[in-house]
Amino acid sequence: MAIRSLEDLALEGKRVFMRVDFNVPLADRDGRQAVSDDARIRAALPSIQHCIERGARLVLGSHLGRPKGKAKPEFSLEPVAAHLAGLIDQDVLLTDEPVGDGARKVVGDLREGQVVLLENLRFHPGEEANDEGFARSLASFADVYINDAFGTAHRAHASTAGMVSLVAERGAGYLMLKEIEFLSRLLGEVDRPYLAVLGGAKVSDKIEVLEALLERVNAIVIGGAMANTFLAAQGGELGKSKVETDKLPLARNFLRKAGERGVTVHLPSDVVVADSLDTEAGRAVAVDAIGAGDMALDIGPDSATSYADEIGKARTLFWNGPMGVFEKEPFAAGTLAVAKAVAGNPHALTVVGGGDSAAAVVQMGVADKISHVSTGGGASLEFVQGLTLPGIAALEGA
């Protein structure tokens, strides 16, 4: 069913509750917490500016970190409010709690074009519990509900699901609609070959999406520590590498299914190893030459080259997850090589599924050469599996 956009809704003079994803990293700056990466905030700016220009009384709601239902100063949205104020060049009010008399008064006093950011929604246990009372309190702040937080759309929380049906008018922001548009294209008829590139630490985290993609793709490229488990499932000796030994039967079963369906699975032929994550440099070895004291921490240069070749042949591509321990410079080369290759394919629909993959294309300065860089890692994985995301389902048919 169709989801209404900002243009479809009467916003003038209305209290508009917009769920945004301001779960951004903070860092100490001159003794104060400050936003260290504002990509998620900037992604919401088109929707925020549209509401301001239409004369909405804008109430923003977000979570930050995992305060587990308690108010904790280190998870306050105060630095985010200050940063947003600078980006939109106007004051952003911050409530002292997500709901309650204080928050109600601030929202009630809003004038057209003003913006208030509710304090961290997860300071209240009702957010993650999708508590009806908390949902009703949030809904009381709104004449119109907008969800522009795709990164939380796979969570059935009070601000993403519970409150939505309690607000008469509802729709999606520009970011949410763009995410739905591009990710939906991966579920329909696509240009082929269709290649999935999946990395990360655990087979257990990705097996469901791997299984779902077997029904859609022509080939799958696997990297990261989860490649170790697949190599071990084929009888490889991985030394001290991270291997999910309890998932070896699962990995073997997946490889068998892929063979039966004619889906090619590419695993590393070489890896970068070291005896410690803190080493200043690793060394490349063939996968059959990993020593007893070695840890495989990145795909090797030969694998990076062959993966880039496969990426270059693709006409549809989905990438989620790093090829190695991307946050450590000696083990980032494989992920950066994949980012470069994805950006270097001008003929494909290329979708990068958030997280470290998104960070890699930004670090390489090639995000503008990708068809779509998703803001939601977990949400994008569930979407490409064809699963129903509660935050999107709540908007349908409004």
**pLDDT tens column, 301-325:** 999 999 999 999 999 999 999 999 9
Same domain, 241 and 356: yes
Does some domain include residue 394? no
Does some domain include residue 397? no
202 is catalytic: yes
Question: Whole-model pTM?
Answer: 0.90
Of 148, 178, 208, the residue at which a domain comes to its end is 178
- The per-residue pLDDT of the chain, averaged, comes to 95
192 is catalytic: no
Confidence of residue 397 (pLDDT cuts 50, 70, 90): low
Q: Which helix (H) or strand (E) holds 252?
A: helix 248-261
Helix or strand or coil: residue 316?
strand
What is each CA distance from 18 to 86, 93, 118, 166, 174, in whole angstroms? 19, 15, 10, 14, 12
Does some domain include residue 77? yes
Same domain, 158 and 205: no
What is each CA distance from 232 to 93, 201, 247, 324, 395, in whole angstroms? 54, 14, 10, 17, 44
d(CA 152, CA 375): 10
Instruction: Examine the pLDDT at 1 and tell me if it is beyond 60.
Output: no
Residue 77 near residue 144 (C-beta atoms within 8 A): no
355 is catalytic: yes
Number of domains in the chain: 2
d(CA 309, CA 193): 13
Q: Which residue in 14, 40, 155, 206 is the catalytic one? A: 40
Same domain, 79 and 224: no
Give me the DSSP letters along 135-185: HHHHHTT-SEEEE--GGGTTS--IIIIITGGGSSEEEE-HHHHHHHHHHHH
Q: Which residue in 224, 321, 378, 391 is the catalytic one? A: 378
Q: Which residue in 202, 257, 313, 369 is the catalytic one? A: 202
Same domain, 131 and 243: no
Instruction: Examine the pLDDT at 358 and tell me if it is beyond 90.
Output: no
C-beta atoms surrounding 281 within 10 Å:
9
Q: Which helix (H) or strand (E) holds 27?
A: strand 26-29
Residue 112 near residue 12 (C-beta atoms within 8 A): yes
Does some domain include residue 254? yes
d(CA 157, CA 333): 38
Q: For 85-95, how does the pLDDT look when each residue is reduced to its tens digit (9 = 90+)?
A: 999 999 999 99
Give the domain CATH number at 322: 3.40.50.1260
DSSP state of 286: E
Same domain, 156 and 271: no
Same domain, 91 and 193: no
Same domain, 248 and 202: yes
Same domain, 322 and 238: yes
d(CA 61, CA 142): 11
Confidence of residue 337 (pLDDT cuts 50, 70, 90): very high
Same domain, 144 and 14: yes
Q: For 14-62, how does the pLDDT look when each residue is reduced to its tens digit (9 = 90+)?
A: 999 999 999 999 999 888 999 998 989 999 999 999 999 999 999 999 9
Same domain, 89 and 34: yes
**Enclosing domain of residue 88:** 6-178
Same domain, 166 and 198: no
Same domain, 244 and 323: yes
Does some domain include residue 392? no
- Give the pLDDT score at 89: 97
Of 123, 153, 178, the residue at which a domain comes to its end is 178
Does some domain include residue 395? no
Does some domain include residue 140? yes
Q: Which residue in 282, 354, 355, 376 is the catalytic one? A: 355
Of 178, 201, 223, the residue at which a domain comes to its end is 178
Does some domain include residue 30? yes
